[in-house]
Structure 1
Amino acid sequence: MVAVRRSKLKNESPFVANLESRTSTYSGVSSVGRKGTLALEYVRQGPQTVLSRSSCRTPWHLLPPIYLDDTGCAYTLLLNPSGGLVGGDHLTLNLSLGGRAHVLMSTPSANKVYRSLGAQAAQVVEITVGPEAILEWIPEPTIPFAGSRFCQAIHVTLAPSAAVVLWDAIVSGRIAAGERWAFACLKNEIRIATASGASILERYTLCPGDSSGEVGLVEPWNYVASLYVVSEAVDDEVWKRLEERLASLLDERPERILGGVSRPAVTGLAVKLVARSAPDLAFVLDGLWQATRRELWNLPPVVWRKY
């Protein structure tokens, strides 16, 4: 479900407020979980964005940003060397971008969520993007294993003239192992609030492991993804051109990719899609992302260096 609200929202939603109690419901299981925290602050320093302050607690591992081109964008990988999330894990990330900073966040591999006997794993991301700053949030997909329980919340607050490109994708499971929609439950929330007070909210729950055993119309597909591009500093004509371009990209692989692009009440675009395979998902992400960077900031495609 995607909803658009005009009123300002409190920093703490009921969705997030209940995460801690949910992860600790089964005390015997959650005792094996870890409470990892990662805090990152970026500022613009001359022609580059630099990491000005950081702190982390296991299982997060801090990698310093690198620079892939001459744009000054700080490219940072979020690394969890434990291999994935188990029941009882509660990871938090607090990310802050100062004025005119430009940060690209990604992950070196998929976010794996392992089987749990009761307690869920949770990940909460709180992001603040300063005036005229740009955040590109492009992680690898989340793979929920059979029997896993996962809850994620991503909240973004934009200052005047700030921009965010936010990508989020989940997989039906370990497809090669014959696991499709076999996880117990997955809950996801994305909220982006702009400086004008408008906000966009996506919230959904998939529980193929409950009594119904259904996930609705998404069942024939293996990947579900969302892309949000939001900025109050972009002209309406630019949004119109980008909307047309993104819509045409979604039509390039009929029967392999199904999606749509819309203009929500916030200033920007929302894309929802499903895909058959990992190559299909990578194809559509590359196209959507490249078109967005070119149209909004006249920036070249990113050449990944993850391995």
Structure 2
Amino acid sequence: MTGYAGRVRIGLEAGAVVTWESTGAWRVLTPLTGAGGWREVHLVGQSGGLKGGDRQHLRLDLGTGTRCLLTSVAAEQVLPGEGRRARSRLAVQVAPGARLYWAAVPLIPHRGARLRRHLTVVAAPEALVAVEEYVLAGRVGAGERWADVELDLSQHWWADRRTLRLADRQRLGPAAAAGGEEAYWSLTVLGPPALVELLDPLAEELAPGLWAGLAEPAGGRLLRVLGSVAALEDWRRTVRERLLPVWLGAAGGDGSGPRPASGVRGLALTH
């Protein structure tokens, strides 16, 4: 059995000094300063993709007052491994006043892929954490639509080590092919209500061909969207353009800025 392990630590100190470290199969490119003054951190996976039997671990710690946009430089591949399951564990701890937006890259499961991924978030009071999940139905260009794949995606969000704020589990596989959707995307956010609620109008103005459901756990939102890759790419771009400047603390970072216009609420998804 092969395995990959990685640990990433990111911090923002007074005077805009950034510290970071990485070990194992992950590397961190030199953090950049985004247009809004936040830090942009890009992860590089050096394993070539997960294969059945692999194990992957990633930990992210954000210090007090950190504002960070986290993403990866390329899509994640999940490869088959003789029926075995790949396992991925992601752990995020966010200090008081910190803000994180984890911008997902596409997760592409190849035919026969099996993946169990679990995310744990511990977010201090007044922190804002937003995490995307983005999964393609397979090698869409080759005509694959959830063909012989099993994806088990779960998450637990905590206020501290004892207080659970959100628990969710999503399974994706051949049953998802019935509607012909090419991709699944979700956004989970917890934080100050004035900031979290800015997602609500966006959730109501979906483009044609997208189907969505919005859940409202205490202090947060969980938005799920199904549709074509092209429509979802446009949607993700809209979400980021509208919310990143506010959520990561540029002008209007207290939630008092202009709110998106409302539209038609989408349909609920089952899980």
Fold shared by both chains (TM-score > 0.5): yes
> 1:232-275, CA deviations, whole angstroms, 9 ceiling, x for partnerless residues?
x343xx555x244213332xx22x211133422x2122211101
Q: Is the 8 A contact 1:49 1:74 kept in 2?
A: no
Question: Partners in 2 of 1:49 and 1:293 — Cα distance?
Answer: 21
Q: 1:65 to 1:296 in 2, by over 3 A?
A: closer
Which of 19, 22, 25 is 1:55 aligned to?
A: 22
The Cα of 1:298 is off from its aligned counterpart by 5.9
Query: In structure 2, what is the equivalent of residue 292 of structure 1?
Result: 243
> 1:89-132, CA deviations, whole angstroms, 9 ceiling, x for partnerless residues?
11101110111011111011211111221222111110000000
Mapped pair 1:119 → 2:81: no
What are structure 2's unaligned runs of at least 5 residues? 252-271
Identity of aligned residues (%): 25
Q: 1:201 to 1:216 in 2, by over 3 A?
A: farther
Partner-residue secondary structure (3-state), 1:281? helix
> 1:50-87, CA deviations, whole angstroms, 9 ceiling, x for partnerless residues?
12x41311x3233221123351x221111113321112
Is 267-276 or 125-134 further displaced after alignment? 267-276
The structure in which a higher percent of residues are strand is: 2
Partner-residue secondary structure (3-state), 2:235? helix
Query: In structure 2, what is the equivalent of residue 69 of structure 1?
Result: 35
Q: Is the 8 A contact 2:68 2:248 kept in 1?
A: no
Which of 4, 14, 24 is 1:45 aligned to?
A: 14
The Cα of 1:297 is off from its aligned counterpart by 5.4
Q: 1:194 to 1:290 in 2, by over 3 A?
A: farther
Query: In structure 1, what is the equivalent of residue 268 of structure 2?
Result: none
Question: Partners in 2 of 1:188 and 1:79 — Cα distance?
Answer: 21
TM-score by length of 2: 0.84
Question: Partners in 2 of 1:49 and 1:190 — Cα distance?
Answer: 31
The Cα of 1:290 is off from its aligned counterpart by 2.7
What are structure 1's unaligned runs of at least 5 residues? 1-29, 209-213, 301-307
TM-score by length of 1: 0.74
The number of equivalent residue pairs is 250
The Cα of 1:280 is off from its aligned counterpart by 1.1
Query: In structure 2, what is the equivalent of residue 22 of structure 1?
Result: none
Q: 1:79 to 1:245 in 2, by over 3 A?
A: same
The Cα of 1:148 is off from its aligned counterpart by 0.9
Across the aligned residues of Structure 1 and Structure 2, the Cα RMSD in angstroms comes to 2.2
Partner-residue secondary structure (3-state), 1:35? coil
Question: Partners in 2 of 1:91 and 1:230 — Cα distance?
Answer: 25
